[in-house]
Amino acid sequence: MRLFTTNLMTDIDTRGYVVRRIERIKPTKLVPTNAPSSSGIELNDIRRELGCTVAEFARLLNTSKGTLSSYMYGIVQNVPESILKEARLLRHQAGNALQAASAKFDNISMREISDAWMKSLGIDDSKSRETLLAETLKIDRATVWRWRERDMRPDPRRLKAYDDVVIAVAASKKQH
């Protein structure tokens, strides 16, 4: 949004008449008064690194979405140290978990990974096994096909998340 500063100019023309004109001066830019603090910026960066929405990140930090937003977007400048410490701890834990997942999956093709997932889920060699895996992971069947046929793989964060889903579903099937 731009505002223009104006001046009312009064002149006398050559015939002696008073002439008034409005002169527009260069535009004035509005500057937001609540720019985020460095702590708020750090919180938002950690949230993005973790791949969380604001609501998910707020839940992880045990605070409300509105409170977290006020820190990240500069409405509140003083972010409590306890919130920052918890966010940094989450980033550290996520980094360790990703390293472990990378070590687990680095030297394995996506076909082998998906076969292992299907086996742990009890999905047999039927024609619909890619569909069943896709439904379990809540993704498109074509994505599973690309993993298996073209050895395309999701980014490490998603790969770990999918592995976590398979582990949880397989564990719940064993309990029933």
Domain membership flag for residue 27: no
Mean pLDDT of the chain: 83
Distance (Å, rounded) from C-alpha 173 to C-alpha 112? Answer: 22
Among the three residues 103, 128, 158, which one is the final residue of a domain in this structure?
103
Question: Would you state the pLDDT for residue 33?
Answer: 62
Domain of 79?
38-103
Number of domain units in the chain:
2
What stretches of the chain show up as alpha helix (H) in DSSP? 38-50, 54-60, 65-72, 81-105, 110-121, 129-137, 141-150, 156-175
pLDDT above 50 for 2: no
Residues 133, 98 within the same domain? no
Residues 146, 115 within the same domain? yes
Among the three residues 86, 103, 120, which one is the final residue of a domain in this structure?
103
Domain membership flag for residue 17: no
pLDDT above 90 for 18: no
Domain membership flag for residue 167: yes
pLDDT above 70 for 163: yes
Helix (H) or strand (E) holding 2: strand 2-12
CATH number for the domain harbouring residue 79 = 1.10.260.40
- Answer for the pair 142, 150: CB distance below 8 angstroms, yes or no: no
Of all residues in the chain, the percent with pLDDT exceeding 70 is 81
State the virtual CA torsion across 141, 143, 146, 148 in degrees, nearest 10: -70
Residues 91, 128 within the same domain? no
- Residue 1 pLDDT class (50, 70, 90 cuts): very low
Comparison of pLDDT for 152 and 24, the residue scoring more: 152
pLDDT above 80 for 34: no
* Reported pTM: 0.54
Residues 61, 74 within the same domain? yes
Residues 55, 70 within the same domain? yes
* Mean per-residue pLDDT, 1-6: 49
Largest Cα–Cα separation, the chain: 101
Which tokens sit at 128? Answer: 């619909």
Residues 97, 148 within the same domain? no
Among the three residues 85, 103, 121, which one is the final residue of a domain in this structure?
103
pLDDT in tens, 100-141: 777 888 888 999 999 999 999 988 867 788 999 999 999 999
* Mean per-residue pLDDT, 148-158: 84
Domain membership flag for residue 1: no
Residues 51, 67 within the same domain? yes
